[in-house]
Amino acid sequence: MKKPERRLFVSVACAAALMVCGAVMIHLDKKPDEATFFAMDCPCTAAVYGGDAEAVKERIKALEKLYSPYEEGSEISRLNESGRLELSEETAHLIEKSIELTKKYGGADISAGAVTELWNVTGDEPRVPEQSEMQTALSAVGYGNIKLSGSECVLENGTQIDVGCDGKGFALDEAKKLLDSEKADCAVVSFGSSTLLYGQKPDKTDFKVAVTDPFDNDNTCLSFTSGGGFVSTSGGYERYFEAQGKKWSHIFDLTTGYPCETDLVSVTVIGQSGIETDFLSTCIFIGGSVELDRWLSDENIEVIAIDENGIVYCSDSIKSRISISDDKFRFE
């Protein structure tokens, strides 16, 4: 069963105008320039003060044509088909950064395309593969099979690329560059699961972000305040299918080839890099609560994680800025 991404609700203070699209609700004290569109397989919104929301939209749509796995004829699609391709600067940079993140953190890996394609969780005909198929797909996983020399990329040993773990975050990094060049005052650009909070709000207060209740997607479970930066949330409750009496999510454990088994139900990461927060929310979700201490003590990011019992774990620096809105959730 395929569901739309609705993981974050972003509230940008004051009052009057209310825009609702997919996961993002934006309250502003005067009307921004706005664009709503569909990109990278989910709704996207852009609300910009002192800049051009349509330009943000066009930039993201251009990136989608380059590397989205959902875009037929994209460079990633053609690379997976041919095994060798001369890439655009953006796609080559995305692949290079993705490999760096896997080397540094482990967990997610863009070379997992053979596995994700086999399960087809977000496609029209998802299925549980045979074990022999799984082993064949797993043998193709490993960033060492991706050879990047300048803009030329070669895939070895049947490797397929899927940038689902960080492609939206990379697009938000590019959107920030555009807003910087325009000298925009304030903006919120969101895919739902990954959001850019840009600049400073007109009333000079922090952005307010509310996270979807992982057990009841029509409600929120907590909110927090944040300055400018990037926010990404991962969880298995949005995109999954049901077969053999259980739910199979779109986030994979690449040691087994199966959708990951984790006691965490939602992980939110706040930081200053779109691609990194996108990647790390997936990575931390896969690792489960047993590996949380490593991330909660990381000074470069802030983390909010929720486990299957409703316990909320968070970085010390953000706890005072979190407000829990449902009594089935509680701090550790």
Cβ-count burial of 16 within 10 angstroms (0-12 exposed, 13-18 middle, 19+ buried)?
exposed
Beta-sheet pairing, 311-314 with 330-331: parallel
Asked if 53 and 59 count as a contact pair (C-beta separation under 8 A), the reply is: no
CATH of domain 8-63+179-331: 3.10.520.10
Asked if 158 and 114 count as a contact pair (C-beta separation under 8 A), the reply is: yes
In sequence order, what are the residues at sequence separation of 6 or more whose Cβ sits closer than 8 angstroms to the Cβ of residue 135? 257
Q: What pLDDT is stored for residue 313 in this prediction?
A: 98
Q: What pLDDT is stored for residue 122 in this prediction?
A: 73
Q: What pLDDT is stored for residue 177 in this prediction?
A: 98
Q: What pLDDT is stored for residue 26 in this prediction?
A: 44
Q: Which DSSP helix (H) or strand (E) runs through 264?
A: strand 264-271
**Residue 183: DSSP 8-state:** T
Can you say how many angstroms the Cα of residue 62 is from the centroid of all Cα atoms in its chain?
Answer: 18
Which has the closest alpha carbon to 233: 272, 195, 259? 195
Residue ranges matching CATH 1.10.3980.10 in the chain: 69-155
Number of neighbours of residue 26 by Cβ within 10 angstroms: 22
pLDDT per residue as tens, the chain (332 positions): 333 333 344 433 322 222 222 233 344 457 899 999 999 989 999 999 999 999 999 999 999 999 987 788 999 999 999 999 999 999 999 999 999 999 999 989 999 999 988 887 777 788 888 889 989 999 999 999 999 999 999 999 999 999 999 999 999 999 999 999 999 999 999 998 999 999 998 889 999 999 999 999 889 999 999 999 999 999 866 665 576 677 667 788 888 888 888 999 999 999 999 999 999 999 999 999 999 999 999 999 999 999 999 999 999 999 999 999 999 999 98
φ/ψ of 255, rounded to 5, equals -85, -20
Which has the closest alpha carbon to 323: 5, 11, 6? 11
Q: What pLDDT is stored for residue 60 in this prediction?
A: 98
Quote the radius of gyration of the chain (alpha carbons, Å): 19
pTM of the full structure: 0.90
Residue ranges matching CATH 3.10.520.10 in the chain: 8-63+179-331
User: What is the CATH class of 69-155?
Assistant: mainly alpha
Q: What is the C-alpha to C-alpha distance for residues 24 and 33, in angstroms, rounded to an integer?
A: 15
Residue 226: strand pairing partners: 207
